[in-house]
Structure 1
């Protein structure tokens, strides 16, 4: 199916995917309250994804072969993807979902700042303005509550942002390997990385630990898997610009969900800061419109 064949459906798939990712982090926080660590959830959801991808590959007889010249890039992509999930899901054990989401969503700005060094692009005044806007927004969100926020959570959320930026640059250089094969190899690399990190942190609990919060764990794992699949479905139907704007709904959904489900609140200045970060991300996407009209959105696994 071509991208232009069903753009309306593509927008709906992307919105559903972004919403599931937003719900995902809220239920990860609920699971952490019950004792199911974010790193353990990542390990088991990656294992389940591997099983499902293997079944799909067998049924469709799809090749799982990775392009030889992209194997090193796939390794970096897998490791960075592991750190995205581990750091982001673990951050909400220390800080509110709304704060974690805003800090995490600084990754588009990090990509802008790093692109001159990684890809040789030029920083324009407009892009610098976007960076300044987002930086101000993050300062407003974190600043008023910095004294009461656990620095571990802030560090983990920002580490997830850095890992996502690395993931984007690596994924941009990995275009010869098929989607099913790429998904398989990414998760095959994520699994031992996540397991080793979880083991080193003393958080690699047996599967029975997931029963501490069965509904929250099911929502977290299910939201990730279904959101990941819908993301790939959406990318074949809409442009990168449209998808980028739709995926900006994820932190908004996370904030609204945390307010409704967890009764988390933000001060007016923090709400304004979150709005500035979201505005900066949307502005960045719109600035890229003339250059990226037909480019695919790089898939994120959070």
Structure 2
């Protein structure tokens, strides 16, 4: 089914997705403390996603056909999604969530800097200012927690950042394949990639290994599934740059969730950082609305 692209809806989808991802990483940290492997979580959530997508396609009678001209893009999406999930979930086993978030959330800046070469976006002072404001807010929210860090966690978090930037650009270009088919093929590509990486790292435990933290694992997987669907609904409607800035809400949600779920505290600097992130998002929304005000609606496949 094809419909016109709505940037406003895309931003709402991105905001919902970022919020679910922010909650998801807190539960991933809890699961890692209990001994659940990040690689195993990725593999089993991919299997569950494939089952759910197959059921949804059958019930809604949606085609799982992939647009021929988007096969290369889908391959990039699959590999980058696998690397993102494995690297980010594995990073929090070596370094705190706050530090992983600082390193991981370099991806909006990577997207902004790469956008002139990938999307032909003009780097205006306003756009650079919004990206800088959002990034500064993220650093303020997660706080200075860089003492005694494990280099493996830092490397994994930055690898996840690069993979995310690639995923956002590829997702924004993949408009002809329907969302259901897109999610199916991405995860079909993620499965062997994630399995091989898990085996190579010696972390691919049997499903019973996730029983050490059933609720945390369930919330990690659930937050990912719903967040992923909303993410790809968003990426068909807004640019990678716009989405990247909106996704700066994720660490803000993660920080608030840490307070509520893990008993952590926030200080005045973190609150000010959250305000900066929200200000950057509101500014970005206004800029996107102005940019799309007189632009023709784009046909996308749902």
Instruction: Give the conservation status (yes or no) of the 8 Å contact 1:99–1:141.
Output: no
- Does 2:286 correspond to 1:289? no
Structure 1 residues 89-128: Cα deviation after superposition (integer angstroms, max 9, x where no partner) = 2222223323333433332221110011222332222223
- Does the C-alpha gap of structure 1 residues 73 and 163 become closer, same or farther in structure 2, counting only changes over 3 Å? same
The Cα RMSD (Å) is 3.5
**Offset, 1:271:** 5.5
- Contact residue 19 and residue 253 of structure 1 kept, 8 A: yes
Deviation at residue 260 of structure 1 after TM alignment: 2.0
Runs (5+) with no aligned partner, structure 2 = none
- The TM-score normalised by the length of structure 2 is 0.81
1:136–1:228 CA distance, 2 compared to 1 (3 A): closer
Whether 1:145 and 2:142 are equivalent positions in the alignment is no
SS at match of 2:176: coil
1:29 matches 2:29? yes
Alpha-carbon distance in 1 for matches of 2:182, 2:66: 7
Q: Alpha-carbon deviation of 1:52?
A: 1.0
**Aligned position for 2:176:** 176
Q: Is the 8 A contact 2:259 2:265 kept in 1?
A: yes
Matches within 5 A, 1:1-302: 11=12, 17-134=17-134, 136-137=136-137, 144-230=144-230, 240=238, 248-265=248-265, 269=269, 272-273=272-273, 276=276, 279-280=279-280, 282-292=282-292
Structure 1 unpaired stretches of 5+: none
Change (3 A) 1:148 1:106: same
Are the counterparts in 1 of residues 246 and 281 from structure 2 also a CA contact under 8 Å? Answer: no
Rounded to whole Å, the distance in 1 between the matches of 2:21 and 2:269 is: 25
**Secondary structure of residue in 1 paired with 2:145:** helix
Q: Are the structure 2 counterparts of residues 292 and 68 from structure 1 closer, same or farther at C-alpha, using a change threshold of 3 Å?
A: same
